[in-house]
Amino acid sequence: MPYTVQRPKLTFWEKTYLPQVIGGLMITFGHFKNMLAGKTKVVMQYPEEKPDGHLPEYYRGAPALVKDEKGRERCVACQLCEFICPPRAIRILPGQLPAESKWAKVEKFPQQFDIDMTRCIYCGMCEEVCPEQAIFLRKDYAITGFSRDQMVHDKTKLYEIGGTLDGLVFKWNPLK
Amino acid sequence: MDLLYSIDWYLILTSLAKTVVVLGIVLGMVSYTVYAERRVCALIQDRLGPNRVGFPTTLLGAKKDFSPILGGLGQPIADVVKLLIKEDFTPAHVNKFYYWIAPTLGIGAIIVTLAVIPFGSSFLGDPMCIAPNVNVGPLFIFAFSSLGVYGIVLAGWSANSKYPFLGGMRSSSQMISYELSLSLSVIPLFMILGRLDLGKIVEYQVTHGWLLIPITNGRMPSFAQVLLWFPIFISFIIFTISMFAETNRLPFDLPEAEQELVGGYHTEYSSMKFALFFLGEYAAMIAGSSLIVTLFLGGWHFPGIPDGAGAGGIAGLDFLPAWFWGLVNIAVFFGKVAALLLFFIWVRWTLPRFRYDQLMRLGWIFFFEIALVNVFVTAIILAVFPT
């Protein structure tokens, strides 16, 4: 059944479109005036004003590895983050912990752990999948370097960004 | 030796000086109009525009780049330098002759029209118009801006590629269609004024009040003047809208912006030739705005300020020499042009653009008929109330 769309009835002045044009001009003039008077607060002048103080809790910055409160590196080189990383930014070379080390019962540790920051998309999947709560996304977003080699964060750099984290591992928390 | 004495050196030297001044001011205004557009459109869109680059005074040894209040005043200089040092590349598949002359036709035709516009009253006895006493002022301007269409047609054709061709065809047909209403809309004006000489039109407005605002001569308008204001107002509206269409500005932006995705008639052009097209569009805006100011808004006149010979102002301003007021008149003229340019920018960032058939219908049916009716109405009013 053909359905005819009813066009609205326009008065004579509305048909000339002049009132609508003038109304539109008033709207844009209002925006212009508010910007000049400083009443609009949407602009952040970037290098002088940074959002660092008020980033939300869930903000995803660069990934980092953490050690626990006893100084043990939490990562056990299970390579789950390497497999789930969408752009394949993480490269892990697992190694065996020597039998005489204090943490020998963990058995595995990463000999090399590289995250290529030119590939990382800051999605947070590595943090979500890690069973040992070893990798977290921090709040820094401006990762720069003078060469491609500098843009690859190796293990020492990652622990340096990460620091220490106390507390339970989520795998012992049935609610998580 | 007789030849040297018979040449009018005064005329030649003053004309050269005026040409240099006008070209300097207009080309400077063109780059700063681009800057103003970026700033104004940014403020309308709730953001700031370019506010970092200042005049490069650090090159001259100062501590900071100079850019008071606004910041970013050096941005046009940076843009011009970038356009100058880019590689000027001619593709292999273009028609070389037309490819090379198209940008010059585009901008050259527009700059020539600035010769007849009186941008000031007089300065030290010399009339402030590069070619004063041209009896056919607006006709000269319309003729040369029609030549500007050739620039676009040749650019679209020579580029030997789909999108420039379509863009060029659309733009040329739009510009030709709106030239009709452009010329027809100002005929009532010339019927009322009785002359086409732009300098004398401004002098008429000094004594009889601006055509659009008749009370600026300090006297109450007569009944005939009030009655004639209505055709003049309609003429102003149609002329301004046709000027928008002539310069390819929104809302008549289809040839330029639909191909913002690709580029339109200037797709195949690189550094300096693209700069000539880009700046030619803003120069056309300035030329059009100066014509609107001259015809409708009183040119260089401001109520109360005397002209370059010291006459016509409010009493009590005699303590300043006459040449000072000549300079003030030039500043008033360019101030009005700048205000009109801001209006052009304001409208651009408010209205959506017309579809091609809507644009053609407006030009050929709507404005053409209204302009014709306007001519008849003015004729009837002038027949009943001869002034």
DSSP letters, B72-102, are -TTHHHHHHHHHHHS-----TTS-HHHHHHH
Residue A75 lies in a domain: yes
Residue A59 sits in the same domain as residue A38 = no
Mutate to test the interface with B, among A17, A35, A43 (most CBs of B within 10 A): A35
Residue B214 lies in a domain: yes
Determine if residue B126 is left, alpha or beta; phi over 0 gives left, psi from -120 to 50 gives alpha, anything else beta.
Answer: beta
- Residue B347, chain A, CB below 8 Å: the answer is yes
Residue A72 lies in a domain: yes
CB contact at 8 A, A158 and A63: yes
* Burial class of residue B162 in the structure, from the number of CB atoms within 10 Å of its CB (0-12 exposed, 13-18 middle, 19+ buried): exposed
Residue A73 sits in the same domain as residue A20 = no
| A117: helix, strand or coil | coil
pLDDT value for B347:
92
Residue A129 sits in the same domain as residue A103 = yes
In the block, tokens 């109450």 appear at B220
Residue B67 lies in a domain: no
Condensed to tens digits (0 to 9), the pLDDT of residues A7-51 reads 889 888 888 888 999 999 999 999 999 888 888 777 788 888 888
Q: A147 to each of A104, A113, A117, A118, B232, how far by Cα in Å? A: 38, 19, 12, 11, 67
Condensed to tens digits (0 to 9), the pLDDT of residues B114-158 reads 989 998 888 887 888 888 888 888 999 999 988 988 888 888 888
pLDDT at position A176 over 60: no
Entry pTM: 0.84
In the block, tokens 């041209």 appear at B134
CB contact at 8 A, B262 and B255: no
Residue B295 lies in a domain: yes
* B289: containing domain: 87-384
Separation CA B37–CA B33 (nearest Å)? 6
Which residue pairs, CB below 8 angstroms and at least 24 apart, start in B320-329? B323/B123, B323/B124, B325/B121, B326/B120, B326/B121, B326/B122, B326/B123, B326/B124, B326/B128, B327/B120, B327/B123, B329/B120, B329/B121, B329/B128, B329/B300, B329/B301, B329/B302, B329/B305
Structure tokens at A31: 């925006």
- Rg of the Cα atoms in chain B: 22
| C-beta atoms of B47 and A42 within 8 A | yes
Residue B13 lies in a domain: no
| B381: helix, strand or coil | helix
* Burial class of residue A24 in the structure, from the number of CB atoms within 10 Å of its CB (0-12 exposed, 13-18 middle, 19+ buried): middle
pLDDT value for B260:
59
Query: A21: nearest CA in chain B?
Result: B351
| C-beta atoms of B46 and A24 within 8 A | no
pLDDT value for B273:
87
Separation CA A88–CA B262 (nearest Å)? 35
pLDDT value for B184:
92
Mutate to test the interface with B, among A16, A25, A27, A32 (most CBs of B within 10 A): A32
With CA atoms as reference, report the closest residue to B347 among B4, B41, B23. B41
Residue A70 sits in the same domain as residue A129 = yes
Residue A75 sits in the same domain as residue A35 = no
- Residue B320, chain A, CB below 8 Å: the answer is no
Backbone angles phi, psi at A74, to 5 degrees: -70, -30
Ranking B84-93, B226-235, B343-352 by mean pLDDT, the lowest is B84-93
Distance from CA of B43 to the nearest CA of A (A): 5
Residue A155 lies in a domain: yes
Closest in B46, B48, B351 to A31, CB measured: B46
With CA atoms as reference, report the closest residue to B107 among B245, B284, B267. B284
pLDDT value for B141:
92
pLDDT value for B7:
83
Residue A6 lies in a domain: no
Q: How many helices (H) and strands (E) does chain B have?
A: 14, 2
- Residue A26, chain B, CB below 8 Å: the answer is no
Residue A139 lies in a domain: yes
With CA atoms as reference, report the closest residue to B100 among B63, B48, B155. B155
Residue A82 sits in the same domain as residue A114 = yes
Residue B96 lies in a domain: yes
DSSP-derived letter for residue A153 is: E
ipTM of the complex: 0.82
Residue A1 lies in a domain: no
Residue B157 lies in a domain: yes
Give the list of residues 6+ apart from residue B374 with CB closer than 8 angstroms, or none: B185, B188, B231, B234, B235, B238
Check which CATH number belongs to the domain holding A100 and give it: 3.30.70.3270
Separation CA A1–CA B340 (nearest Å)? 52
* A154: containing domain: 53-172
Condensed to tens digits (0 to 9), the pLDDT of residues B349-367 reads 999 888 888 889 988 999 9
Residue A61 sits in the same domain as residue A39 = no
Residue A73 sits in the same domain as residue A124 = yes
pLDDT value for B53:
84
- Residue B48, chain A, CB below 8 Å: the answer is yes
pLDDT value for A163:
72
Number of structural domains, chain B?
1
B45 vs A contacts (CB less than 8 Å): 31
Closest in B47, B48, B346 to A28, CB measured: B346
| B385: helix, strand or coil | coil
| Residues paired with residue A109 on neighbouring β-strands, in sequence order | A95
Confidence of residue B243 (pLDDT cuts 50, 70, 90): very high
With CA atoms as reference, report the closest residue to B40 among A31, A21, A45, A42. A31
Residue A112 lies in a domain: yes
Residue A73 sits in the same domain as residue A25 = no
Question: To the nearest whole number, what is the mean pLDDT of chain B?
Answer: 86
How many CA atoms, within 13 angstroms, populate the side-chain half-sphere of residue A128?
9
Q: Quick one: which H or E segment has residue B337?
A: helix B322-348
Residue B41 lies in a domain: no
Separation CA A118–CA A81 (nearest Å)? 17
Separation CA B264–CA B254 (nearest Å)? 9
Confidence of residue B37 (pLDDT cuts 50, 70, 90): very high
DSSP secondary structure, A83-106, as one string: HH-TT--EEEEEEEPPTTSTTGGG
Q: How remote is the C-alpha of B203 from its chain's centroid?
A: 20
Residue B231 lies in a domain: yes
DSSP-derived letter for residue B113 is: G
Structure tokens at A72: 């043990």
Number of structural domains, chain A?
2
Residue A142 sits in the same domain as residue A163 = yes
